[in-house]
């Protein structure tokens, strides 16, 4: 007598394959999630939150200006034009915040006696930056945020 030992597909084998595949998928997802970098936007986020109201006041003053701050990139130079109505003695700080890599963040202090300021951006890595400009003229503070894309 010959016994046919052909394996049949039944619900037990299907459940085993399903749960086995699910377990391997979950192990893979756990592995991938542990390999992701998670960078904080800022280490001192609580202190930054406390200063947020002051930034809102500065932005409100900036919004009341009849002329807006403008910028352009020409020949690896970021040129920032300040509104003419605020005067010419301008000082402040420009933060280049790169969300994709905190190592590329830069902070530059400036002081100018004209309504414009230029920054050499040839050494910056390419990509999107959030430009945070905190500036003061005639003891009045202003604040702008702009998004720029450096293509090099």
Ranges assigned E (strand) in 98-139? 106-112, 116-120, 127-137
Tens-place pLDDT, residues 84-140? 888 888 999 999 999 888 888 999 999 988 888 999 998 899 999 999 999 999 899
Residue 1, pLDDT > 60, answer no
Listed residue (39, 45, 127, 116) closest to 79, CA to CA: 116
CATH of 50-150, one of 3.10.20.30, 2.60.40.10, 2.40.128.110, 3.30.70.2190: 2.60.40.10
pTM (predicted TM-score):
0.67
Tell me what pLDDT residue 13 has. Answer: 87
Compute, in degrees rounded to 10, the torsion defined by CA atoms 110, 112, 114, 116: -20
Q: State the pLDDT confidence band at 71, using cuts at 50, 70 and 90.
A: very high
CB 92, CB 108: distance < 8 Å: no
Reported as a pLDDT band with limits 50, 70 and 90, residue 41 is low
Whole-number pLDDT of residue 17: 93
Domain map (residue ranges) of the chain: 50-150
Tell which residue, 70, 76, 68, has the closest CA to residue 119.
76
């Amino acid at each position: 007598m010959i016994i046919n030992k052909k394996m049949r597909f039944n619900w037990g084998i299907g459940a085993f394959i399903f749960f086995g595949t699910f377990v391997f998928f979950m192990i893979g997802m756990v592995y991938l999630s542990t390999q992701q970098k998670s960078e904080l936007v800022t280490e001192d986020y609580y202190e930054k939150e406390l200063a947020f109201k002051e930034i809102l006041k500065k932005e409100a003053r900036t919004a009341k200006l009849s002329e807006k701050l403008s910028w352009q990139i020409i020949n690896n130079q970021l040129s920032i034009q300040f509104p003419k109505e605020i005067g010419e003695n301008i000082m402040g700080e420009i933060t280049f915040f790169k969300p994709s890599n905190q190592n590329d963040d830069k902070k530059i202090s400036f002081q100018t006696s004209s309504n414009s300021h230029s920054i050499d951006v040839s050494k910056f890595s390419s990509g999107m930056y959030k430009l945070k400009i905190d500036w003061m003229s005639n003891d009045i503070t202003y604040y702008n945020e702009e998004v720029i894309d450096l293509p090099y």
